[in-house]
Amino acid sequence: MNNPEIQAIKNRFGIIGNAPSLNYAINVAMQVAATDLTVLITGESGSGKESFSKIIHSLSTRKHGPFIAINCGAIPEGTIDSELFGHEKGSFTGASEARKGYFETTNGGTIFLDEIGEMPLGTQARLLRVLENGEFIRVGSSKVQKTDVRVVAATNVNLREAVDKGRFREDLYYRLNTVPIYVPPLRERGEDVVLLFRKFTNDFAERYRTRPVKLTEASRQMLMDYEFRGNIRQLKNIAEQITILETDKDLPIDSTVLQKYLHPVQPAARRSLVPVPDAEDGGSISERELLYKVLFDMRRDVNELKKLVRDVLQGDHYDGREVLQQNKELFSSLGAPDALLPAQSAESPRIISPAQHRIVDLGQYADEGVVVEDVDHTTEEEESLSLEEKEKELIIKSLQKNNNKRKYAARALGISERTLYRKIKEYGIES
């Protein structure tokens, strides 16, 4: 697939390598450039995704129009709508004059939306309207405007996983993913690593006026076997460090010397796309999972206790101490101290019969005031109420933690804003 056209593109945009996966990605970019289809470029951070957006624009009919690259993750959530779609004077604090957005200024050109997975859900809805109808509305305006812009998006996260977690709109995902281009990470490009290293060291040697670095066969193989989590950026940094710090250029760099610049990595780092984080604050997710686990454990213990009490009530005779001894683990998980789990005694066991008005005394628990009454009528209702109280408590804590900002509270809870609004109304929570 390494034909003269692909090689010409490589020379024009400074792309080095002959890996089949790289050549295939370039070929797809060349074919789709002549169309107006939306393109989604996927690949790890540092793999060179922006170069492919430039290839698409330069080979398209829009090549004489404007091209702008925007990092969606670098724009604050409160201003990204204004940046992309513009705003009217006085539409928000600080809007002293009207301003055109990128979709208006690049009319007839191409917008490259890098890190599209970081775009807020509200902005995603606005972007979908642009892709579907070519329409947008400035912030603070009610006037619908038209634009003719081609969108090329890129991400280093798994958008399909983000869709499943409710962090990315499914309709937008399919609209963006009209033509996918996968940019392979450096570790999947074989000998391209050595070619890139040679190019970088030659460039740095010329810049710092020193002789280029050479590698032994063992060190070349070590480069090809390395993970390179930072991909091309990391390789370039290593090449510059070696060029500056290794002053003896008469000897080639062997594997022992090279090992000093290659930090050890875990095999689990092998993945094409990084996973989607559960929340902006990783700690809050851990806390939520812990709370859910506690709730589920409580529900399991309650169910076991219900079954135990039902067996007691249905039996003709039952020894309360025997109940405690046989279910020591259950009562321990419910907070019963070991002292309440009696050893065998010579005293006559207390007999429980169904005729005792459904009041159950489990051994010495009676002395502690633990009495189960009318279990078969009320337990399920009490359990339901208990879970609702816990849910209400979680919602209140999440709102307090996020300064009553429902959008962030919903994210922390792992539910949609609509669900959160309904729960707030259902439980009568003031926020």
What is the total count of domains within the chain? 3
**Does any domain span residue 277?**
no
In whole angstroms, give the CA distance from residue 410 to residue 395. 9
b/e sequence 112-136, b meaning 16+ C-beta within 10 Å: bbbbbbbbbbebbebbbebbeeeeb
Q: Is the overall model pTM greater than 0.95, yes or no?
A: no
Which of 149, 168, 184 is where one domain is finished?
A: 184
Q: Are residues 256 and 111 in the same domain?
A: no
Distances in whole angstroms, Cα of residue 160 to Cα of each of 232, 276, 277, 331, 350: 25, 9, 13, 44, 61
Which residues on adjacent β-strands are paired with residue 152? 39, 112
Q: Are residues 302 and 341 in the same domain?
A: yes
Q: Are residues 43 and 132 in the same domain?
A: yes
Strands 135-137 and 144-146: antiparallel
298 C-beta neighbours (distance < 10 Å), count: 16
- Token digits of residue 87: 């705003």
pLDDT value of position 378: 47
pLDDT value of position 16: 93
Per DSSP (E only), the strands in 150-291 are 150-155, 179-182
Inter-helix orientation angle 406-413/282-314, to 10°: 60
Q: Are residues 251 and 312 in the same domain?
A: no
**Tens digits of residue pLDDT in 3-22:** 889 999 999 999 999 999 99
Q: Are residues 163 and 81 in the same domain?
A: yes
Cα–Cα nearest to 103, from 75, 76, 136: 136
Q: Are residues 255 and 304 in the same domain?
A: no
Residues 6+ apart with CB under 8 A from 131: 38, 151, 172, 175, 176
Cα–Cα nearest to 385, from 427, 417, 424, 421: 427
CATH of the domain at 128: 3.40.50.300
**Tens digits of residue pLDDT in 319-336:** 555 655 666 655 555 554
pLDDT value of position 339: 46
Q: Are residues 212 and 345 in the same domain?
A: no
**Does any domain span residue 275?**
no
pLDDT value of position 328: 60
User: Range of 361's domain?
Assistant: 282-427
* Positions of the chain with pLDDT under 50: 1, 267-272, 277, 279-288, 317, 336-381, 383
